[in-house]
Structure formats: structure tokens, C-alpha cells
Amino acid sequence: MIPSSFPAKDEIARLTAGMLLEIGAITFNAREPFTHASGKQAPTYVDCRKLISFPRIRSTLMDFLSVTIMREAGFEAFDNIAGGETAGIPFSALVAERLALPMTYVRKKPKGYGKNARIEGVMTEGQRVLLVEDLTTDGGSKLSFVDAIRETGATCSATAVIFYYGIFEGVEKTLGDHGIQLLHLCTWWDVLAEAKARGAYDSETLSEVEAYLRDPAGWSAAREN
């Protein structure tokens, strides 16, 4: 079923943030910060993979993502939906089903045997491909996936994610310079606003999270000394 009518963008952001909080996909902990892949510390953690275990929320968010794609990129803008290995694979399949389009997925690197492919499924020259992932931090992994798609002769001018950090400078410019439009449902700022509205965490924790969002590098550096 192709969705066509849903709430405005700001309401989608609020509802998405609330759903992520409801299922525990969001964790705030300023006293025992999380160490991210970059090695930097943060009082925030998001795990969109949890969504696959909650059918009602999963279905609603995939409807939200599908309608966001059509509203912001176009109703007939794509011929193929590609998921990024691994977290993007289930979400790309669900979006492809809603948009009635073929689904493929992109490996992080060639599998090292057989055809040594990075693209799984059928992707053909000239197809307009949308890359779907769970989230975007600094956008780095998106560039690699998009380059692999373009090597097939297909085009890729957009990526759609459930969650966009929205706190690091230059991400959208970096993607834009690479010819990629970023589509997303919510950011850390939306989550913080909804957490405050719900009283989901104590005021001290929320203050620390806000301080981190305003200066991620400074917040992390202060805790390394």
C-alpha cells in the first residue's frame, strides 16, 4: 500500500522521537557516557535496530519515511531502493514494498569470493537509486555506499534515514557536494524536545545532553582530561 497522506514534517519528527523513546531505542546517560565508533564520548545513544521488533511502530515509521521520500524527493523519483549493509537492509525492504519498487542492498566491502560483488540483487545502468539506512552521523558511510551504486552505472542522488544526528557541522554540505540529498524523520534536537515534554529523564541529565548537542567535541574533550 503506497502511503499518500500523513502529518506535517514537524509532527512526524515529534512522533518519531516519541516512538524511539517509547521502545528504549534512545538512551541518555551523562554519568557513564557512551564511547562511539569515533572514540569520542557522548551522553546519548540511539539504536534504530530495535524498531524491527515493534510491528506497530515499525510500520508507522516506514509509512512516515515513504511519504517523506515522496514529498521531498518526488513521487516518481526512483526506480530502485537500496539498503546499506546491515542496518539499512530491513528498512529498505519495507520502504521498497510501500513504494512498489525493486529492492537491492549494498555491502560495506566486496565479499571476497564468487563475483566479489558489493551490490546484491538486480541494479541496472541508468536506474535512479535511493539509498536507505537507519541513521546518519557524519555522512561518511553514505559516500562509500553511493559510490558503489554509481559504479554500476546507476544514479544515486538521495539517501533516506530514520534518524539524523543533526549536531555535526558540514554533514549536509558534504553530502550535497557529493550530489546527495538527505531525507530524515527526526534529529537529536527533536528527541531532546520530546524527552523534556515527557519528563523522560531528570533535569540534570537533560541539561548535560543539551550541552553535548550544542558542543559535541567540547563535551567529549572535557571528559577525556
pLDDT tens string 157-205: 999 999 999 999 999 999 999 999 999 999 999 999 999 999 999 999 9
**Confidence class for position 38, pLDDT limits 50, 70, 90:** confident
Asked if 88 and 131 touch (Cβ cutoff 8 Å), the reply is yes
The residue extents of the domains of the chain are 9-216
Q: What share of the chain is helix, strand, coil (3-state, %, to 5)?
A: 45, 20, 35
The dihedrals phi and psi of 42, each to the nearest 5 degrees, come to -150, 150
**Confidence class for position 51, pLDDT limits 50, 70, 90:** very high
Neighbour-count burial of 10, counting CB atoms closer than 10 A to its CB (0-12 exposed, 13-18 middle, 19+ buried) = exposed
The domain over range 9-216 is classified in CATH as 3.40.50.2000: no
C-alpha cell at 140: 561518511
pLDDT at position 139 is 84
Is the pTM value of this prediction over 0.75?
Answer: yes
Residue 133 has pLDDT above 70, yes or no: yes
- In terms of phi and psi (left: phi > 0; alpha: psi -120 to 50; beta: otherwise), the region of 186 is beta
What tens digit of pLDDT does each residue of 73-110 get?
999 999 999 999 999 999 999 999 999 999 999 999 88
Distance CA(75)–CA(99), nearest Å, equals 9
Residue 113 has pLDDT above 80, yes or no: no
Q: Output the CA–CA distances (angstroms, integers) from residue 99 to 112, 133, 162, in the order listed.
A: 32, 16, 16
Distance CA(119)–CA(148), nearest Å, equals 8
Three-state secondary-structure class, residue 26: strand
Distance CA(167)–CA(186), nearest Å, equals 12
Supply the mean pLDDT for the chain.
94
C-alpha cell at 136: 546518519
Distance CA(69)–CA(63), nearest Å, equals 10
Distance CA(59)–CA(154), nearest Å, equals 29
